[in-house]
Chains A and B, each alone.
Chain A
Amino acid sequence: MNENVNPPGHTPTPEDIDQHIEPHMVVETVPTKRRQIDLWRKFKEEKLFAFGVIIVFLSVFLAVLGPTISPYDPNFATGRVSVPPLTDPGNGEPVHWFGTDNSGLDIFSRTISAPRTDLSIALTAALFSMFLGTVIGLLCGFFRNIITEIIMRISDLLQAFPVFITAMILVALSGRSTWNIIIALTIVYMPIFIRLTRAEVLGQMPRGYVEAARAVGNSEMIVAFRHVLPNSLVPSLIQLSTTVGFAILLTSGLSFVGAGVRPPTPEWGLMIALGAPQIILGEWWQSIFPGVAISLTIFGYAAVGHGLEEDYR
């Protein structure tokens, strides 16, 4: 065939097919337990998605059990200062897999204990902002009046603030406690969910099923929450995964610049910051391990988010 509209070697994705196959080719299927099966198959077949899922599970596992299974107490100095990775103390104590830092804390123990701080902050904040943002977004999209209009303007205003600086102000001035960080992150990320949900709701409103739900005789609130909301959740759920990633980044970024959790809490950003001056001295191990941990975690969450996005779009 001479035509190159169809480039060789392109393996089409399900999305391609959806768009270009004419309807009769889509065979009617008997309804089954499709959702679970699809996710499992996706896990088995898509390497990137599988990697993401593993990372997500591992991070949650460490958030729950990290400090319990760590070989050393993450907050207790061993007395062996700045030893390189894989050092065996030789006195029957566990090996320092990732070395120790310049105050003698075991880096491996701290790296696997950190998710308890990073992940619990990021997950809680992301869930809060998703929950609040979705409800507000739904109401603002569904009921168009002066009040919801004002709420949207306020949300716009929040989005015009520089994210990083706003978070720094909120945390640094209210005291650098875990809850304050969570509240700050919630405020910073909520407008995204408001926007997303509202846009989706506005897209759903002209759909026939919404009008049909009214025609059947439902009240406006029932139409909004029973019909429109479940059909407007997908963008928020996809965004959730991405937001957790961003929130981990912001949490650690705040500690890195000194406006996050206080030392010596085991936290990745803080560990990198403490190790930063040692880098120029050649002690690379203090910063490298927590950094790899952040990098992989965020990548994992992004991969899951992307995988879900492709499926549900």
Chain B
Amino acid sequence: MVQRFIVKRVLIALLQLIGISLVVFFVIRGLGADPVARIVGMNATAEAVQQAKETLGLHESQMQQLANYLGIFRTTTREGIIQGSLGESWVTGSPIFEEVTRFLPITLELITYALLIAFLLALPLGMSSGTRPGGAADKFTFVWGLFAGSQPEFWWGLMFVFVFFFVFQDFGLPSAPAPLGRINPLLTAPDPITGFIMIDSLLRGRFDVWIDAGKHLMLPVFTLVFVVSGPIVKLVRQNMQRVLRSDYILYARSAGLPNKKVARYALRAALAPAMTLTAIIYGFLLGGAVPVELIYSLGGIGEYSIRSILNLDFPAIQGTVLVIAMVSLLIYLAIDILHAFLDPRITF
């Protein structure tokens, strides 16, 4: 059962990925941007333009370009997706796959910590407001859920930098480090194993880097927690209140179950939707954390994608969109399996 479900979902995801790569391929070519002019400049000679076109493979028909990109009926020696290559960047010349795998873990690390913390914060807050409607926690979570549901995270990030870096420093308080990367530029980062710097530095025994990276991650993670905890808190609160009014909780009470047991019944029912929402936000943040990455100069996948877009680096754009879509589809799959495990009503 479970295997069949997973196989089916993976197949659907593959179809979706194919659809996404086709759509991206044609859309970026159909929007009228001219990457050749961007690369050779406006005043280049016709020969220079032609030569650039040939190096980039743009002299071919669009269908042939697609074939080269996919790696079937190739007219070049370059490998395509089928061969496991996402192509090379037009700007840096290095393989896209390598660049993406370098930048992606940075973003993953940032949003994983942020969402873990947000989820762990949201649970007790949402629960206490659910069990004591009208109490202080309830009023706070209500307003918080509404307010932080959508806030300009890029602006809040700046404000946090201003307060915790500039103002704190001004008053001689222990302040956050300058928002200029993942670690102090004077330190050398450990060789990546997982790509998560907090984990790598531990594995390599570099505690100095661990502490420094922690300090650097503090504000960006806090910024994200600030904006994403809102919807999660709101959902846990709503669910808790709905569940506590449900017939089965009333029945559990009327059957004389102790309060602790009743609370466990309620939590069980309220947990699953909150998890699903967290996963959806995770998928959203993969591409949506760009502004926060920019503010703290973290150099994640979001920053890479915006650089590619502004440089009209088509292979890089295709590659990032594909990889981000793939990661989010994987996350959704994982959460669906977990959900089905928690809730027997969901059939595979």
Contacts and interface: CB of A to CB of B under 8 A. Distances in A.
Contact of A280 (B27, B178, B284, B287): B178
Contacts of A163: 284, 287-288
B46 interface: no
B342 interface: no
A308 to B, nearest CB: 13
A294 interface: yes
B137 interface: no
Interface in A214-253: 242, 245-246, 249, 252-253
Contacts of A288: 159
A143 interface: no
Contacts of B135: 7, 9
B246 to A, nearest CB: 10
A257 B290 contact: yes
A119 interface: no
Taking each of A161, A173, A174, A298, which has the highest tally of chain B beta carbons within 10 Å of its own beta carbon?
A: A173
Contacts of A249: 150-152
A246 B288 CA distance: 13
A166 B33 CA distance: 15
Contacts of B317: 169
Contact of B306 (A11, A258, A279): A258
Contact of A276 (B158, B287, B290, B305): B158
A295 B27 CA distance: 33
Interface in B253-311: 253, 283-284, 286-288, 290-291, 294-295, 302, 305-306, 309-310
B114 interface: no
Contacts of B152: 249, 252-253, 269, 272, 291, 294-295, 298
B28 interface: yes
B123 interface: no
Contacts of B166: 279-280, 282, 284
A90 interface: no
B20 interface: yes
B325 A161 contact: yes
A132 interface: no
Contacts of A253: 152, 154, 290-291
Nearest to A157: B19
B32 interface: yes
B91 interface: no
A32 to B, nearest CB: 31
A172 B307 CA distance: 11
Given A9-B135, A157-B23, A173-B28, A291 B310 contact: no
B238 to A, nearest CB: 11
B33 A173 contact: yes
Interface in A287-304: 287-288, 290-291, 294-295, 298-299, 302-303
B158 A279 contact: yes
B133 interface: yes
Interface residues of A, number: 53
Given A279-B158, A282-B166, A291-B155, A165 B321 contact: yes
Contacts of A169: 24, 27-28, 31, 309, 317, 321
Interface string A158-194: 0011111110111011110000000000000000000
A2 interface: no
A302 B134 contact: no
A156 to B, nearest CB: 8
A146 interface: no
Contacts of A259: 306, 309-310
B113 interface: no
Contacts of A258: 306, 310
B204 interface: no
B288 A164 contact: yes
A157 B16 contact: yes
A160 to B, nearest CB: 6
A3 to B, nearest CB: 9
Nearest to A154: B19
Contacts of B59: none
A257 B329 contact: no
B287 A162 contact: yes
Interface in B132-173: 132-135, 143, 146-147, 149-152, 154-156, 158-159, 161-162, 165-166, 170
Given A162-B286, A299-B147, A302-B146, A294 B309 contact: no
B309 A162 contact: no
Contact of A294 (B33, B155, B245, B283): B155
A161 B306 CA distance: 15
A302 B150 CA distance: 8
12 contacts: A7-B131, A20-B245, A48-B143, A156-B16, A157-B16, A161-B321, A162-B321, A166-B321, A168-B305, A173-B28, A174-B33, A252-B152
Given A162-B288, A172-B310, A173-B309, 11 more contacts: A16-B245, A165-B290, A165-B309, A169-B309, A242-B150, A253-B290, A257-B294, A259-B306, A279-B161, A282-B166, A291-B158
